[in-house]
Chains A and B, each alone.
Chain A
Amino acid sequence: MTPISTSRDIAFLKEQARAVRIEILKMLTEAGSGHTGGSLSAADIVTALYFYKMRHNPKDPKWRERDRFILSKGHAAPLLYAVLALSGYFDRSLLNTLRKLGSPLQGHPCSKMLPGIEVSTGSLGQGLSIANGIAMGLKMDGLSSRVYCLLGDGETQEGQVWEAAMTAAHYRSDNLCAIIDNNGLQIDGHCCDVMALEPIVDKWNAFGWHVIDIDGHNMEAILDALGEAETVKGKPTMIVARTIKGKGVSFFEGKVQYHGMAPTREELEKALKELG
């Protein structure tokens, strides 16, 4: 268990999240394409995981006792690359090569090309099943490592997610904590218009999960929820994190068109000013 968070931890994490957002915007602008909105919306959650909650060692990415993170919403690759670079898994200068020929920073994460990526993702709906398997294997080995899996809200329209939801509950995988980046938007528009998801919390409850509903941009709430998940026995935990797509840059927030669009140079300049 990680120690009780202090106000100093919170201040540090907020600063880290700001740095992560800056790296995301810079690399996406350099790449000229990629997924801005969903990388920014989950930035606080993933920052809390990599810079506070998870046991991991950038110098030994395959450390047997590490906690695992599976980015099921693989299109948020820029976010994962930013936290990995800032954690020291690889040199920050690599971030400028995102999506370019020969770069290990593929458009969606590839585990064969970059240290720190547990498994390749990008096709939605598959990460939770993989996380289940890892959770089973860790338990079999008597390891106390935990598995974290980040899903998009639109992603939960995939049927496989619900197959995995049943499996995790059936096998009482309490070393598994999934998080839904509930930003309410998907490529074609608002989730409620494309394919309604609500009531999200009730659904996961009904599937036998311990569900925690939080503001996904409130660092204290994120840390509390991750801490609570560690205390749950006999059930997997789902943190439903209410977020804002494009969070941190006013003119990207809540805008569906920035799901899969990179900032222009001008937008980057404006955004960096906002982030300070």
Chain B
Amino acid sequence: MGNREQNTGNSNQLPPHNPPLIKGGSRGGVATRDAYGEALLELGKKRDDVVVLDADLSGSTKTGKFAKAFPERFYNVGVSEQDLIGAASGLSLTGKLPFASTFAVFETGRAWEQIRQTVSYSNLNVKLVATHSGITVGEDGASHQAIEDIALMRVLPNMTVIIPADGIETKQVIEAIADYYGPVYVRLGRAKVPVVMPEDYKFNIGRAYTFHTGKDANIIATGIMVSVSLKAMEVLKREGIDAGVINMSTVKPLDNDAVIKAAEASGLIVTAEEHSIVGGLGGAVCEFLAENHPVTVKRIGIRDTFGCSGHPDELMKLYGLTPEDIVKTIKEALNK
């Protein structure tokens, strides 16, 4: 794929339509957007200052659940993302707690300057919760696959950036950011993801969760790449390589202590994100380690290119985001 000429007039050469890889783990997975819809509904029951705004995608972002329960606290602004951010900002200025949702590519791209000038610069209490991030958007193709949103949000002063790994963490994140004053970007996905976080997990903004600290390598992952990394860890273990996995759900502020500990333990760090290798989690980790504890870092992510149409499973393979890709990267770096 990526070379359309090859396929012209010969549909037999198109990749086979495989069954989905990302359909839930042993404990049954949900898409983080579905968990968001439920969390928002619960939050709306608890707090009457919660208001929700959407830009004609409430069925997909799952804010529709809140809209149905609390129509007087829901605003659909139509297909107008810039106005979405402005209206959410205005509501926050009257003491409301606005959640503004649409697809990640439109929220952070189309309305980036509104977020910069109004939300971030005035440090407003606006929660930007975007869905359909990354290439697992799938068939809609590159126009709808946000692969630069972490970078776009991370560069803004006052902004907190969170990418939950599963449904459990998504619910915790929504509760946590409701109790925190300031702009927050939460990055959610369309596809189902396996449950990876423990039942008794408690999310704290800025604190990573370490599943295991490895002596040979440590994988710092975020979002859906946490479950992929855990699978890689198991494969490596069978081959006698001790790799650790850290869920860095808050990319900004980065959990510096967790990164240092991992770097001290192994000397090889691998970052894993369903995002460009430029400016996202990999960028954040490299920036921090280069200044504070230089070690070898390998970045797993989309290698400075656009996505394309396909099944999420096919795209994860095409762009090198599978457990096998992580295993190969670590083994190569360790010369094993």
A residues lining the B interface (CB < 8 Å):
68, 110-112, 118-123, 125-138, 140-141, 159-160, 163-164, 166-167, 170-171
Contacts and interface: CB of A to CB of B under 8 A. Distances in A.
Nearest to A124: B117
B118 A140 contact: no
Interface string B76-87: 011010110111
Interface stretch (B23-31, B89-97, B258-266): B89-97
Residue picked from A133, A141, A163, A170, most chain B C-beta under 10 Å: A133
Interface size class of B (residues with CB under 8 A): 20 to 34
14 contacts: A119-B118, A120-B117, A121-B117, A122-B117, A123-B113, A128-B86, A129-B86, A129-B114, A130-B86, A131-B90, A132-B87, A136-B75, A159-B82, A160-B80
Contact of A126 (B72, B93, B117, B123): B117
A119 B93 contact: yes
Contact of B78 (A136, A138, A166): A166
A261 B117 CA distance: 24
A134 to B, nearest CB: 4
Given A122-B117, A164-B83, A140 B96 contact: yes
Given A136-B75, A137-B95, 18 more contacts: A119-B118, A119-B122, A123-B117, A126-B86, A126-B117, A126-B118, A127-B86, A128-B86, A129-B85, A129-B86, A130-B86, A130-B89, A132-B83, A132-B90, A133-B94, A134-B90, A135-B90, A137-B96
Given A110-B121, A122-B117, A129-B85, A136 B91 contact: yes
B88 interface: yes
Nearest to A134: B90
Contacts of B75: 136, 171
Top 3 nearest A-B pairs by Cβ distance?
A: A133-B90, A129-B86, A137-B94
A155 B66 CA distance: 35
B117 A141 contact: no
A111 B122 contact: yes
Interface in B51-91: 51, 72-73, 75, 77-78, 80, 82-83, 85-91
A119 to B, nearest CB: 5
Given A129-B82, A137-B93, A167-B77, A120 B87 contact: no
Contacts of A123: 113, 117
Interface string B91-115: 1111110100000000000000110
Q: Output the residue of A123, A131, A160 with the most chain B CB within 10 A.
A: A160
A166 B94 CA distance: 21
Main secondary structure of the interface of B (DSSP, over half): helix
Nearest to B80: A163
Contacts of A134: 90-91, 93-94
Contacts of A122: 117
Interface in B15-46: none
A1 B72 CA distance: 27
B86 A160 contact: yes
Contact of B90 (A125, A129, A141, A160): A129
Contacts of A163: 77-78, 80, 82-83
B95 A133 contact: no
Nearest to A170: B78
A87 to B, nearest CB: 20
Nearest to A131: B90
A126 B114 contact: yes
Contact of B93 (A112, A118, A128): A118
A70 to B, nearest CB: 8
A125 B111 CA distance: 12
Contacts of A133: 86-94, 98
- Scoring A120, A125, A129, A170 by chain B CB atoms within 10 A of each residue's CB, the highest score goes to A129
Q: Which of B82, B86, B96, B114 gathers the greatest number of chain A CB atoms within 10 Å?
A: B86
Nearest to A165: B83
Nearest to A137: B94
A111 B98 CA distance: 19
A125 B118 CA distance: 11
Nearest to B83: A163
Contact of B82 (A121, A135, A160): A160
Contact of A129 (B72, B89, B95, B123): B89
Contacts of A160: 80, 82-83, 86, 114
Contacts of B87: 129-130, 132-133, 136, 164, 167
